Chain A
Amino acid sequence: MTTTLDKPTPETGAEEGRSARSLVDAVFRAREIAIGGALALLVLGTWIANPGFLDDQGIKDLLLNSSILVLLAVGQSVVVITRNIDLSVGSVVGLTAFACGHFVSGTDHSAPTVVLLGIALGTVCGLVSGALVSFGRVPALVVTLGMLYIIQGIDHAWAHGEQINAVNVPDGVLALGSGSVLGIPYLPLISAAVLAATGYFLRTYRSGRELYAIGSSPDAARLAGIPVRRRILAAYAFSGAIAGFAGALWLARFGTVVADAANGWELTVVSAVVVGGVAITGGTGSVWGAALGALLLTTIGSALVVLKVDSFWQQAITGVLLLAAITTDRVLQVRTTSALRKRSRR
């Protein structure tokens, strides 16, 4: 075994590998370019139909509306890349938003405290799901579905019809949701920073690449000496932390929080991730794509409003788009595989 690994790769093989890799790279780049193109087309079309769509306020709304979904999509895609899923994110956002609101109501806590509290609470939720999935070795969908119910139940039982009102939330926290630097609101800046950091980590760091390896083939990853369970646990903790962060931001943005805030968001987040080209079967995709997917879903909603299309159409259009995205993904994948096969035969 080891001797074959130590053998130097023949020159030709390395070259072929490189060209194959560049082909794969090109396809994935094409994937993100395609989503970006669709997004650009949508924005352009809407802007032509109604110039008000892209005025200062319009852009600000677009960015604000998408930032929480983008954030959640980044967290979710890290989990999905490892061939798992986290259905509990919506309920974690609801719980942390309420918990943070409850914590700050009538006090003068600062924004960082609230954010840290949200992240801590989210991380705990993520760690529980992650421990059950990685150490219990049970299907992620079942566990996180169970966690969805448990967290939702706790949230509702705790809130019990009570709601957090903006008047009780300290100004420092609300400023996080409404303030801006150089005309750009904080929220999209935060999302962009988290996105960039996560994207860089996944692409550059060894542990980031290992997440892809786990998603491609868990068994092979284990045999290659990757600490699979620990990585999966970390992925869930990260997703939970992001969801907690999003919960704190939710409070900052809306001020008013009811117990079922972000209820049902888990499927929207998964949709965004899937539209963004992260395969639900793990191992492929990038957070950049996922963020674009989230941006696209939000923009469709806003565009339909601006274009005065019946809002009833929004979901149907989103559904068609989702199906189109995963079908395109599949077609591209089949093409790449056959292209690679042809190349290696030559």
Chain B
Amino acid sequence: MTALTKYLRWDTAVGILLIAVFLAGSGTTEGFANTDNLSAALGDVSEIALIALPMTLLVVAGQVDLSVASMLGLSSALAGSLWQAGFAFELIVPLCLLAGAVGGLLNGWLVTRVGLPSLAVTIGTLTLYRGLASVILGDEAVADFPETYARYAAYTETVPGTFVPYPVALFAVLAVGTAIALHCTGFGRSLFAIGAQEDAAWFAGIRVKRLKLVLFVVSGLVASFAGIVYTLRYGSARADNGLGLELVVIASVLLGGVDFDGGKGTLGGAVAGVLLIGLLTNLLTLNDISNEIQVIVTGLLLVASVLTPRLIAVLAERRHRRKAAEESVPVSAAI
């Protein structure tokens, strides 16, 4: 029982599932395990993957940011309107990032200084940022972005010598950095402490409010960067870009075994969750399985990801109790 619960944690299970899906896909589906398709599959989840990194940190700290997809849209709309106004692209990127940081700061300020629950705050800013995006760009679509930049965002152009698209390469670097920060530093331990018991963390001398503020700012920043990637990848800046993506990001992170109540989870699990959804979507698409079924699969995986660990724990407890009862019988008989 201990061996089972020790090694078969949900995040490792998702990793194994990921490998299984990959192997099954390579074995059964033609055109799945080639570099073109894999880079397309990876490229398709690049924004989700990028945003999932700060989201993991937030959820570990017991917070959530529902405004990320709206921030992606806002950043996209901002990029579009600035480009229309004749700004240089080199200037647009920092401006969008600034907007993301300010948006994140607003979230963080409302959560830490005013003391509001992050779920309520970010539902509010979800609406606000999406609204600002449509105020800025209306229902226009700006499309004529410079080819040089678009090439880097799309998965057609890969890092020389590999099949890895640039956003994915960037994601890989960031993921390793985030994993180290979360699992090997005092900063990461502080986040787990905050997620497990915020008051206790505060009494232990952790600067809870400042850390949370930083997380929200980073989340806004990454979401706005993802907005630029999204805009270039699809070659179109629209106010409704990435509509509803926040739920997919959160679903991926939770699928990877990060506990929504905070204090538990691994970055590896979250990344595996993102990749699993990406790979599965790709595989199902290649097999002509409809979008609807893909949505159902995502939902089932999500429900399974919270139920299975719970079920394993209950079963383990029951077995433990039965064993304890069996052991106690001979003793009482002897007496």
Contact B303 A143 (CB under 8 A): yes
Residue of A nearest to B119 (CB): A280
B134 within 8 A of A: yes
Contact B126 A267 (CB under 8 A): yes
Residues of A within 8 A of B (CB): 85, 87, 132, 136-139, 141-143, 145-154, 156-157, 160, 264, 267, 270-271, 274, 279-281, 310, 312-320, 322-323, 326-327, 330, 334
Q: A138-B306, A315-B134, A323-B124 are in contact. List 7 more A-B contacts (CB 8 A).
A: A145-B254, A150-B303, A151-B299, A312-B131, A316-B134, A318-B131, A327-B110
Residue of B nearest to A270 (CB): B123
Contact A145 B247 (CB under 8 A): yes
The 7 closest A-B CB pairs, nearest first, are: A319-B128, A316-B131, A149-B299, A315-B131, A153-B296, A150-B299, A146-B302
Residues in B whose Cβ lies below 8 Å from that of A153 = 292-299
Residues in B whose Cβ lies below 8 Å from that of A138 = 306-307, 310
Closest Cβ–Cβ distance, residue A150 to chain B (whole Å): 4
Residues in A whose Cβ lies below 8 Å from that of B26 = none
* Complex alpha-carbon distance, A328 and B64, angstroms: 21
Closest Cβ–Cβ distance, residue A298 to chain B (whole Å): 14
* Complex alpha-carbon distance, A39 and B301, angstroms: 43
* A316 contact from B132, B259, B260, B299, Cβ within 8 A: B132
Contact B310 A142 (CB under 8 A): no
Residue of A nearest to B130 (CB): A315
Contact B114 A327 (CB under 8 A): yes
Residues of B within 8 A of A (CB): 64, 66, 110, 114-117, 119-121, 123-132, 134-135, 138-139, 239, 243-244, 247, 250-251, 254, 259-261, 290-303, 305-307, 310
* A156 contact from B120, B134, B292, Cβ within 8 A: B292
* Complex alpha-carbon distance, A132 and B124, angstroms: 28
Q: Indicate whether A322 sits within 8 Å of B306 (C-beta atoms), given known contacts A150-B300, A330-B115.
A: no
Contact B290 A157 (CB under 8 A): yes
Closest Cβ–Cβ distance, residue B142 to chain A (whole Å): 15
Closest Cβ–Cβ distance, residue B296 to chain A (whole Å): 3
A-B contact pairs, 14 of them (CB 8 A): A145-B251, A145-B254, A146-B301, A150-B295, A152-B299, A153-B292, A153-B295, A280-B119, A313-B135, A316-B128, A319-B130, A322-B124, A323-B125, A327-B116
Closest Cβ–Cβ distance, residue A336 to chain B (whole Å): 14
Closest Cβ–Cβ distance, residue A318 to chain B (whole Å): 5
Contact B254 A323 (CB under 8 A): no
Residues in A whose Cβ lies below 8 Å from that of B64 = 141
Residue of B nearest to A266 (CB): B247
* Complex alpha-carbon distance, A151 and B169, angstroms: 35
Residues in A whose Cβ lies below 8 Å from that of B244 = 264
Residues in B whose Cβ lies below 8 Å from that of A139 = 259-261, 306
Contact A141 B300 (CB under 8 A): no
Residues in B whose Cβ lies below 8 Å from that of A157 = 290, 292-293, 296
* Complex alpha-carbon distance, A85 and B66, angstroms: 14
Contact A330 B295 (CB under 8 A): no
Which of A279, A280, A316 has its CB near the most chain B CB atoms (within 10 A)? A316
* B135 contact from A270, A316, A318, Cβ within 8 A: A316
Residues in A whose Cβ lies below 8 Å from that of B298 = 149, 153
Residues in B whose Cβ lies below 8 Å from that of A310 = 135, 138
Which of B120, B301, B306 has its CB near the most chain A CB atoms (within 10 A)? B120
Contact B131 A267 (CB under 8 A): no
Residues in A whose Cβ lies below 8 Å from that of B295 = 149-150, 152-153, 156
Closest Cβ–Cβ distance, residue A240 to chain B (whole Å): 16
* Complex alpha-carbon distance, A136 and B308, angstroms: 10
Closest Cβ–Cβ distance, residue B154 to chain A (whole Å): 28
Contact A280 B117 (CB under 8 A): yes
Contact B116 A313 (CB under 8 A): no
* B127 contact from A132, A319, A330, A334, Cβ within 8 A: A319
Residues in B whose Cβ lies below 8 Å from that of A320 = 128
* B110 contact from A137, A151, A323, Cβ within 8 A: A323
Residues in A whose Cβ lies below 8 Å from that of B116 = 326-327, 330
Contact A145 B250 (CB under 8 A): yes
* Complex alpha-carbon distance, A138 and B260, angstroms: 9
Contact A146 B300 (CB under 8 A): yes
* Complex alpha-carbon distance, A27 and B294, angstroms: 48
Contact A330 B296 (CB under 8 A): no
Residues in A whose Cβ lies below 8 Å from that of B66 = 267
Contact B307 A132 (CB under 8 A): yes
Residues in B whose Cβ lies below 8 Å from that of A264 = 243-244
Closest Cβ–Cβ distance, residue A278 to chain B (whole Å): 10
* Complex alpha-carbon distance, A172 and B301, angstroms: 41
Contact B247 A317 (CB under 8 A): no
Contact A318 B127 (CB under 8 A): yes
Contact B125 A148 (CB under 8 A): no
Contact B302 A154 (CB under 8 A): no
* Complex alpha-carbon distance, A316 and B66, angstroms: 16
* B302 contact from A142, A156, A314, Cβ within 8 A: A142
Q: Indicate whether A322 sits within 8 Å of B303 (C-beta atoms), given known contacts A152-B295, A330-B115.
A: no
* Complex alpha-carbon distance, A314 and B127, angstroms: 10
Closest Cβ–Cβ distance, residue B84 to chain A (whole Å): 16
Closest Cβ–Cβ distance, residue B65 to chain A (whole Å): 13
Residues in A whose Cβ lies below 8 Å from that of B303 = 132, 142-143, 146-147, 150
Residues in B whose Cβ lies below 8 Å from that of A142 = 254, 260, 302-303, 305-306
* Complex alpha-carbon distance, A310 and B138, angstroms: 9
Residue of A nearest to B129 (CB): A319
Residues in B whose Cβ lies below 8 Å from that of A323 = 110, 121, 124-125, 128
Contact A274 B307 (CB under 8 A): no
* Complex alpha-carbon distance, A319 and B293, angstroms: 33
Closest Cβ–Cβ distance, residue A82 to chain B (whole Å): 15
Contact A148 B299 (CB under 8 A): yes
* B299 contact from A146, A267, A280, A319, Cβ within 8 A: A146
